[in-house]
Chain A
Amino acid sequence: MSEVAVDRTCELLVQSLAAWRVRGGVQRARDGAIIIYEARKDIRIDPTPSEMFRWMVTIDGRKRGAISLAGVLRQVREALDPGYAAKRVRVALTPLVPY
């Protein structure tokens, strides 16, 4: 995974905590992981080289894989925002290009 992708994810998490109005900070660990600290739960997000999961999210010691950024965001929000109830939505039943 590129540094750009991890950096963008880190920035997204910073903005997400602010948007959700939940306590906590976000920082990069020396080993490349993203750490969410002083939050409702301890969260560590590792970029993984696994073919199945791009990310491994550890919340209070429990590990779960995420195949995409959307999955990471969903797990983090479910852990930190008690009022959150995800609405899964599919967009675009038609092709995304006009051909």
Chain B
Amino acid sequence: MIPISVLTGFLGSGKTTILGHLLRQPEFSRTAVIINEFGEVGLDHELVAASEDSFIELKTGCLCCKIRTDLAQTIQDMLQRRDEGECSPFDRIVIETSGLADPAPILQTLMTDTSIAEHVVLGGVVTTVDTMTGAATLEREDISQKQIAFADRIVLTKLDLNGPAHPLLLRRLSQLNAAAPVLSADRGKIDSQCLFSAGLYDPHVSSLDVNSWLAEDPHAHARHDADIQAYTVVRKQPIGAVTLTLFLETLAEHCGADLLRLKGIVNIAESPDRPAVIHGVQHVFHAPGWLKRWPSDDRSSRIVFITRRVPQRWVEALLEAIGAEVADVSPGHCSG
């Protein structure tokens, strides 16, 4: 039986960072990964440096909604490819859900689909919590409460930015799921044995009404907030460092909490060979990280937005206008 672990957590809570760390550990070398993103263009798979023995199935759209029915088929295909020697052997599967995914139908599929039931077993649910924004997110987003309630392990992230988790956050987590141990990740690093040692998923231990969620009509579970939109801004031309900085600052100033998540690979004009990786959650932006090289031949800048009521046309107009202004001020400078 192949254990399948589910890595979930709200947008920007550090799932991909933790996954990237795990896949660099020797004990995770025989791991197959399914990354699920909510957007037209998947990006996380390019941000995770998987070992040669790992491979990634990417599904855009939300696993818990429109492509949920594909999950069992995807797993079947992976197992078949493995058995036929068409891919590296693996003895573990990790599913990274989208930040907006409802875990209930995913777990329900894993536990009940007869086509995969003989081959896989649910290994555990790990939920990441951003200590900077986690308390507010739990207040605002019902789906984040569900993600906590389903957890076998809760992992606090971004402690390096925010210091120890606030007692109110810890109390809220305990209210939602007292049974799950609360662990801490140091910039994504965490003992892998602690994470996925939960064994078979037991829906009887969580303190909220997990059983009732799992028993929901699969067609009637909570849909994403209709105001939440995911889109990708793509630019073929490099973007100047100053333009990008002003763009992000203005986004944060005007969008605030409505900018649920921003992540992207950016071709910086001043650094054509090393793309910048940008992350933002609500009004919090991290300093850019730098990849050693482009992950593929596609060198366009791709910035994924998940927002509440922030129109794509406004975002694109903002980038264009700032680029034009910077070009005006710095003639000959490639501003994007």
Q: Which residues of A contact B (CB under 8 A)?
A: 1-2, 4-5, 7-9, 11-12, 14-16, 18-19, 54, 68-70, 73-74, 77, 86-94, 96-99
A16 to B314, CA, bound (A): 6
Whether B248 is near chain A, meaning CB under 8 Å from some CB there, is yes
Q: List A contacts of B249 (CB < 8 A).
A: 70, 89-91
Q: Which residues of B contact A (CB under 8 A)?
A: 241-242, 244-246, 248-250, 252-254, 256, 268, 270-271, 274, 276, 283, 285, 287-288, 290, 309-311, 313-314, 317-318, 320-325, 327-329
A–B Cβ pairs within 8 angstroms, 12 of them? A2-B328, A7-B324, A8-B317, A12-B318, A15-B313, A15-B314, A19-B309, A69-B250, A70-B246, A70-B253, A97-B271, A98-B276
Q: Is the CB of B270 within 8 A of A97?
A: yes
Identify whether the interface residues of B are mostly helix, strand, loop, or mixed: helix
Q: Is the CB of A15 within 8 A of B317?
A: yes
From A8, A91, A96, contact of B320 by CB (8 A): A8
Q: List B contacts of A77 (CB < 8 A).
A: 254
Given that A74-B253, A87-B283 are known contacts, is A12 also in contact with B320, CB under 8 Å in the complex?
yes
A54 to B322, CA, bound (A): 13
A48 to B226, CA, bound (A): 42
Q: List B contacts of A12 (CB < 8 A).
A: 314, 317-318, 320-321
Q: Is the CB of B328 within 8 A of A91?
A: no
User: Total A-B residue pairs with C-beta atoms closer than 8 Å?
Assistant: 107
Q: List A contacts of B287 (CB < 8 A).
A: 91-94
From B250, B274, B320, B323, contact of A11 by CB (8 A): B320
**What residue of chain A has the Cβ atom nearest to residue B282's Cβ?**
A87
Q: List A contacts of B283 (CB < 8 A).
A: 87, 89
**What residue of chain B has the Cβ atom nearest to residue A96's Cβ?**
B241
A18 to B310, CA, bound (A): 10
Q: List B contacts of A16 (CB < 8 A).
A: 314, 317
Given that A5-B327, A8-B324, A89-B285 are known contacts, is A19 also in contact with B252, CB under 8 Å in the complex?
no
Most buried by B among A68, A94, A97: A97
Q: Is the CB of B321 within 8 A of A11?
A: yes
**What residue of chain A has the Cβ atom nearest to residue B241's Cβ?**
A96
Q: List A contacts of B313 (CB < 8 A).
A: 15, 18
A5 to B326, CA, bound (A): 9
Q: Is the CB of A5 within 8 A of B324?
A: yes
CB distance from B245 to the nearest CB of A (A): 6
A77 to B248, CA, bound (A): 17
Q: Is the CB of A91 within 8 A of B314?
A: no
Among all A-B residue pairs, the 5 with the closest Cβ atoms: A96-B241, A89-B252, A98-B290, A8-B321, A19-B314
Q: Is the CB of A87 within 8 A of B290?
A: no
Q: Is the CB of B268 within 8 A of A97?
A: yes
**What residue of chain B has the Cβ atom nearest to residue A9's Cβ?**
B321
A98 to B244, CA, bound (A): 15
Q: Is the CB of A97 within 8 A of B241?
A: yes
Q: List B contacts of A19 (CB < 8 A).
A: 309-311, 314
Q: List B contacts of A74 (CB < 8 A).
A: 253
**What residue of chain B has the Cβ atom nearest to residue A69's Cβ?**
B325
Given that A18-B314, A88-B253 are known contacts, is A68 also in contact with B248, CB under 8 Å in the complex?
no
A68 to B326, CA, bound (A): 9
Q: Is the CB of A1 within 8 A of B253?
A: no
Q: List B contacts of A11 (CB < 8 A).
A: 317, 320-321
A19 to B317, CA, bound (A): 11
A5 to B317, CA, bound (A): 11
Given that A19-B310, A93-B287, A94-B287 are known contacts, is A87 also in contact with B320, CB under 8 Å in the complex?
no
Q: List B contacts of A99 (CB < 8 A).
A: 271
Q: List A contacts of B288 (CB < 8 A).
A: 92, 94, 96
A44 to B192, CA, bound (A): 59
From A54, A88, A94, A97, contact of B325 by CB (8 A): A54
